[in-house]
A = this chain, B = another copy of it.
Amino acid sequence: MKDASCTPATCAPPAKREPLPLGDEEQELADLAKAIAHPARVRILKVLSERNACVCGDIVLEIPLAQSTVSQHLKQLRDAGLIQGEIDGPRVCYCIDPAKLKRLKVLIAGL
């Protein structure tokens, strides 16, 4: 099974312009990718997705890490905008932000 070997012939012409300073869209995708660049965070998203709704703090039960560590990962996902938390009495309910997740999918698909 021969996959895309890149022969010099297939090479495209070099650039003429300056190296643009790493645009916003590149940064956006990089940030979103970084948010899921850890198996624990992938697991969190998967859990939030399987239980189609939030699933409060027993996300911790799904992940073989200390509570404080899981909380940190949740924060990263929250900072990236991929999930959001809603305070419900003593607990906090998390759920996926579908718009942001969609945005990630679009950016990835555009590669």
Contact = CB atoms under 8 A, between A and B. Distances in A.
Given A4-B97, A15-B58, A105-B109, 14 more contacts: A6-B53, A6-B86, A8-B54, A8-B91, A11-B54, A12-B53, A19-B61, A20-B64, A22-B40, A22-B64, A26-B43, A30-B37, A33-B37, A109-B109
Interface string A96-110: 111101001100110
A10 interface: yes
Given A4-B95, A39-B26, A98-B3, A19 B54 contact: no
A62 interface: yes
Interface residues of A, number: 66
A30 B76 CA distance: 14
A63 B4 contact: no
A30 B39 CA distance: 5
- Sorted nearest first, the 3 A-B pairs with minimum C-beta distance are A12-B51, A6-B95, A10-B53
A3 B103 CA distance: 14
Interface of A: 3-8, 10-15, 19-23, 26-27, 29-31, 33-34, 36-43, 45-46, 49-56, 58, 61-64, 84-86, 88-89, 91, 93-99, 101, 104-105, 108-109, 111
